[in-house]
Chains A and B, each alone.
Chain A
Amino acid sequence: MAYPKEVKERWQKTLQEVEEAGLYKDERYICSEQGVKITVEYPRGSKPMEVLNFCANNYLGLSSHPDVVKAAAQGLEDRGYGMSSVRFICGTQDIHNDLEKKMAQFLGKEDAILFASCFDANAAIFEVLFDENDVLINDRLIHASLIDGIRLCSAQRDSYKNADMKHLEKKLKMWKDRAQSMCIVTDGVFSMDGILAPLGEIADLADRYGAIVLVDDSHATGFIGKTGRGTPEHFGVMDRIDIITTTLGKALGGASGGVVAGPREVTEMLRNRGRPYLFSNSVPPPIINAATRVVELISDTTELRDKLEWNAKYFREKMEAAGFTLVPGETPIVPVMLGDAKLANDMARDLLQEGIYVIGFSHPVVPMGKARIRVQLSAAHDKEHIDQAVAAFIQVGKKLGVIGEKTKA
């Protein structure tokens, strides 16, 4: 084994710098299934404590839902644990094809294709569809996976200020006669702010300038829009968004897996040329079976997304009444703005002691001076859980001077 001392020291130095900058990711051990009530061992080695989880992407509360767990177990029983193959050799079961059809139908697209993750989907798609004669124009707050995917592609790149339609139009005008095709790239819901991309206006601009629109709807599929079809449904533009990338790892059961839905040419190009697709194992049968059950569940009824919508509205109202500053919006991602990074971390620490599990986010994940606690609601939360969280926020908020003594919930 050659592990040169200088290499080891270099990496140790980097880790030390990460730690000194306060950016070291300290993982907390959860000793229970994922859900509203979880058991957390933190700090490591301490006695695990039961807390309410307000930081999962478990928007519909399906991560440990009995029907979903049962479907996963059935998939394991009927079709085994793993495929030991990529899709095109011997890794495609009929259930993979069924789920792809169901996802295409759910998202209102001609076809869909599964990936090991949405990160893989976003890493695959640009390189396959675009070349140096094209231009990709992205919102400046898109997810890291889209940025990496764009980096892997030879197309020209440009960007516009977050959700700034005037700026986007300026870019479309500038590129119109300089590129063979233009693609606007955005998240449907920006996960740090919980705000929606203005897809109606984006679709209008795309029509006017002949651009393709690609939306990563990972923080929206299953619950944004009247029937949970995502941000395009919310804005009434499902038929005007060309390509959707999304995940099975959040609202749709929360295990893993990514999806691209769009025209058949897009999915076929990805099947034939998408490197993360061609060189990654198939999504395993238990996940496929469970995700299929999830799509059935949320296609039958809007009960879960309706409850989530109510929960988000209720939490926002209570927190605003208590005097907290929130990023205004309507999604179940609710940033509680604190400004100072240390304050955000201290508040998250103290909230955990009060039985509420949330995380503080600071620079470089969010802009300097805009540190926050990002609260994520779930359909699995009941009113009493939200009341408990608000009460803890008020108690800790007063202690740390975030809100005044006299404010009431």
Chain B
Amino acid sequence: MSDGLRDKIIEYIRDEYLEDESMELKSDTPLISSGIVDSFSMVSLKMYLEDEYGIKMSDDEASTQAFDTVNNIVALVKRKLSEG
């Protein structure tokens, strides 16, 4: 589940944000602090995760820190899924 989740999120971020397709995107690559994900479109990442996994995140939970790496995002989604 975790790898599938991770791969899917990486694929979404690649498709949605990366201008340069050859750029490497790893699970610990900083997304927001490095400027890959601009703060203006962070909300669409949140909406994607909510729609795709049937979860609901508060604005506090969907913080720039929680969204700053794929690892952090996977952890957040897993936690929300376990909360039911």
Contacts and interface: CB of A to CB of B under 8 A. Distances in A.
Interface of A: 138, 140, 147, 150, 156-159, 161-162, 171, 174, 178, 367
Given A161-B19, A367-B19, A171 B44 contact: yes
Interface in B7-44: 19-20, 38-41, 43-44
9 contacts: A140-B38, A140-B41, A147-B40, A157-B39, A157-B40, A157-B41, A158-B40, A159-B40, A174-B47
B19 A158 contact: no
A138 B40 contact: yes
Main secondary structure of the interface of A (DSSP, over half): mixed
A174 B41 CA distance: 12
Given A138-B40, A157-B40, 7 more contacts: A140-B41, A158-B41, A159-B41, A162-B19, A171-B44, A174-B44, A367-B19
Given A171-B44, A174-B44, A159 B38 contact: yes
Interface of B: 19-20, 38-41, 43-44, 47
Contact of A157 (B19, B20, B43): B43
Given A161-B19, A367-B19, A150 B40 contact: yes
Contacts of B44: 158, 171, 174
B39 to A, nearest CB: 8
Main secondary structure of the interface of B (DSSP, over half): helix
A156 B38 contact: no
Nearest to B42: A157
B56 to A, nearest CB: 14
A126 to B, nearest CB: 12
Contacts of B43: 156-158
Contacts of A178: 47
A275 B26 CA distance: 44
Contacts of A140: 38, 41
Nearest to A147: B40
Contacts of B19: 161-162, 367
Nearest to A136: B40
A54 B22 CA distance: 35
9 nearest A-B pairs in the assembled complex, by CB-CB distance:
A157-B40, A159-B41, A159-B40, A158-B44, A158-B41, A156-B43, A158-B43, A159-B38, A157-B43
Contacts of A150: 40
Contacts of A158: 40-41, 43-44
A140 B41 CA distance: 9
A138 B44 CA distance: 13
A147 B39 CA distance: 11
A157 B38 CA distance: 10
A3 B39 CA distance: 34
A229 B40 CA distance: 30
A359 B44 CA distance: 37
A320 to B, nearest CB: 25
A367 B20 CA distance: 10
Contacts of B20: 367
Nearest to B17: A161
A170 to B, nearest CB: 9
B30 to A, nearest CB: 15
A150 B38 CA distance: 13
B41 to A, nearest CB: 4
A140 B16 CA distance: 12
A367 B19 CA distance: 10
A368 B19 CA distance: 12
A147 B44 CA distance: 17
Q: Considering residues A157, A162, A367, which has the most beta carbons from chain B within 10 angstroms of its beta carbon?
A: A157
A178 B40 CA distance: 16
B38 to A, nearest CB: 6
Contacts of A171: 44
Contacts of B40: 138, 147, 150, 157-159
Nearest to A178: B47
Q: Considering residues A138, A159, A367, which has the most beta carbons from chain B within 10 angstroms of its beta carbon?
A: A159
A161 B44 CA distance: 13
A59 B38 CA distance: 32
Contacts of A367: 19-20
A291 B83 CA distance: 63
Nearest to A164: B19
A162 B39 CA distance: 16
Nearest to A367: B19
A156 B41 CA distance: 9
Contacts of B38: 140, 159
A178 B41 CA distance: 15
